[in-house]
Each structure stands twice: as structure tokens, then as C-alpha cells.
């Protein structure tokens, strides 16, 4: 089995937390223990690749930069993405190594700072099309206050609850990871690689090479592209919802245990899944299966092992 695990934000920072170093390490340690359980059951020829989100961390760094911009120059969004790849990669890598030592697993781990090519003419860069939430959730009054202070920000309601407002930024379609061949080589050698964090650092091709752009790539769509390049069999997307839901937030809401790729596409066209939330996860799973993947699963972190055994989560199949 060649498995790619895409970790959601709750694997690093819980919604009710401030995001201190201690809190984030504690979450990474819990995550590492879950992954160690999976690795312990893997065979000699099985391979594992890990990616992760970075929305809360990017949002927090951008707030820090805005607060101190009169003293220290703010960095571009692509540079902030690189910062969070190093930060989160370090935390997950160290936590995994410690969990493996505890479980007597002898496996190498490394983090690769990853660039992802996007199209400079992607619609997300124009008008009000930006769709990727970053930073903390807000109530409507908080959102209005932030918009007044920063008229240039795009702020949208991304969840149908009281605290469902977030800043959104351009989220162009990922085309290809620049370091994809290097990552595949490491994975083929049996190294557990942490790569393409936050979907990868968004870059465009120029006559002189590559140049970063102000955007954030969706980590699930980025994970799917990475899964293609590295020839994964299984894509496991971990989030804070146990199963995909139909009619989310309505009286007739229901869980989905399994659905074919055709059914998933039908529900996607119906608008069943929230943009910037469940929609890109389902879209990533559809693409993965259409490109030859064997299994795509959306599940919660604490039930990751059960999900791989078909006992939890939502599986999308060919």
C-alpha cells in the first residue's frame, strides 16, 4: 500500500486554542501517535507520505505582521507559506520520531519545503473570487470590524453557524509540485516524507524560472496532485468531521459511509458541500479516483486506523 495522509488543521491547532507552541506540539504529539499505529501495521514494501494544512498558522503570522508592520517589513504570502511549512514540518517530524522511538519503529522521516506551480490567470486572482479561508473564525461583528480596518480584505461566511466568518484569499488550482520527483524518490526509498504543507508554496513559471505569488493553495487539492506524482494507492484526508454529510445543517442531514465517484460528482454539482471546507476534500477524492487511485477516504484523525479498515469515515470508490 502506498498511502498519502492529508492532515487537517485540527491535527496541529484546535479551534478553541490560541495556538501557542506548547498547544501545537501537544496536538502534533497526539497526531504522531495515531500515525505510529498505522505505521506499525504497515509491511516492508508499504510507503507513507504526509501533507498538512496551514490556514490558522498563516492567518496568525499575517496578523503578527500587520501589528508590527511599522517596525518590521511584512513578508509576502508565499514567504509566509514557506515559514509555516518549516514550522509545522518541524513539529510533525520531531513528534513522529519521538512516537516511533516509543513504539520501537525504525523509520526515517524528513520534511521537504515544497513549491507548487499555479496558473497566473487563475480566476481566483480576480474580483471577489478568492475562496480559501485563513486565520481564525469570527462572529459577524468581528468580521465587520476587520473589514473596516482593512477594506482590501475579502471576508466571507464559510460555515452556516454563528462563528462562521473568515478572511479568504486567492486559492488557485495546483498544477504540479516542483519538488515532486525528489519527494517520490525519497518515498520509494522508504522514507516517510512530510511535504507540500498548505498545498505547497504557490509559484508561477516565468522566463527566468519561478516566482512566488500572493495566494494559498488548498491542501487537499494539493495533496491530490502530490498523490498523482508519487503514485499513491490510497488518499486519506483527515478532518474534524467523522463522515461526509448530505444536506449539512438541515433537518434531513445524513452521514454518507460510501459513495461511488459518480455519486460524489452528482452531489458536488448539486452544491451539497461547503466551498472552502468539504467541497475541496470531495473534489480531491474524485480527482484521485479518476486518475487511477484505488481508495479515497475522508475521516477524523482519531479514527484514522478504523477508516483504513473500512470501519469509519466516508470512502469514495471507482
Q: Measured at the alpha carbon of residue 289, what is the angle toward residues 288 and 292, in degrees to the nearest 5?
A: 95
199 is catalytic: no
Distance CA 191, CA 236 (A): 18
Of 9, 55, 164, 198, which residue is the catalytic one? 9
Distance CA 264, CA 283 (A): 8
9 is catalytic: yes
Of 55, 59, 89, 132, which residue is the catalytic one? 132
Distance CA 225, CA 287 (A): 9
Query: Who contacts 246 (Cβ-Cβ below 8 Å, separation ≥6)?
Result: 253, 254, 256, 267, 272
Of 281, 283, 293, 313, which residue is the catalytic one? 281
Of 8, 81, 200, 219, which residue is the catalytic one? 219
Of 8, 10, 55, 293, which residue is the catalytic one? 10
69 is catalytic: no
Active site positions, annotated = 9-10, 132, 219, 281
Amino acid at each position: 500500500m502506498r498511502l498519502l495522509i492529508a492532515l487537517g488543521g485540527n491535527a496541529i491547532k484546535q479551534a478553541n486554542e490560541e495556538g501557542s507552541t506548547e498547544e501545537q506540539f501537544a496536538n502534533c504529539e497526539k497526531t504522531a501517535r495515531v500515525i505510529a499505529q498505522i505505521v506499525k501495521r504497515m509491511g516492508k514494501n508499504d510507503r507513507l507520505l504526509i501533507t498538512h494544512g496551514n490556514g490558522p498558522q498563516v492567518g496568525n503570522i499575517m496578523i503578527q505582521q500587520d501589528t508590527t508592520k511599522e517596525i518590521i517589513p511584512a513578508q509576502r504570502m508565499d514567504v509566509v507559506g514557506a515559514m509555516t511549512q518549516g514550522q509545522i514540518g518541524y513539529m510533525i517530524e520531531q513528534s513522529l520520531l519521538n512516537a516511533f522511538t516509543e513504539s520501537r519503529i525504525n523509520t526515517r522521516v524528513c520534511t521537504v519545503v515544497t513549491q507548487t506551480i499555479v496558473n497566473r490567470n487563475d480566476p481566483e486572482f480576480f474580483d471577489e473570487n478568492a475562496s480559501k479561508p485563513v486565520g481564525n473564525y469570527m462572529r459577524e461583528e468581528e468580521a465587520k470590524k476587520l473589514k473596516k480596518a482593512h477594506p482590501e480584505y475579502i471576508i466571507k461566511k464559510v460555515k452556516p453557524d454563528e462563528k462562521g466568518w473568515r478572511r479568504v484569499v486567492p486559492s488557485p488550482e495546483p498544477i504540479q509540485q516542483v519538488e515532486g520527483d525528489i519527494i517520490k524518490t525519497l518515498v520509494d526509498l522508504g522514507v516517510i516524507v512530510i511535504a507540500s504543507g498548505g498545498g505547497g508554496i504557490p509559484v508561477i513559471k516565468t522566463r527566468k524560472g519561478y516566482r512566488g505569488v500572493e495566494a494559498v493553495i488548498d491542501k487537499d487539492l494539493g495533496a491530490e496532485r502530490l498523490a498523482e506524482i508519487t503514485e499513491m494507492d490510497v488518499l486519506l484526508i483527515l478532518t474534524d468531521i467523522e463522515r461526509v454529510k448530505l444536506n449539512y445543517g438541515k433537518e434531513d442531514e445524513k452521514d454518507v459511509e460510501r459513495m461511488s465517484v459518480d455519486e460524489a460528482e452528482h452531489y458536488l454539482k448539486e452544491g451539497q458541500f461547503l466551498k472552502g471546507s468539504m467541497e475541496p476534500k470531495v473534489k480531491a477524492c474524485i480527482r484521485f479516483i479518476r486518475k487511477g487511485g484505488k481508495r479515497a477516504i475522508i475521516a477524523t484523525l482519531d479514527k484514522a486506523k478504523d477508516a483504513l479498515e473500512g470501519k469509519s469515515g466516508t470512502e469514495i470508490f471507482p
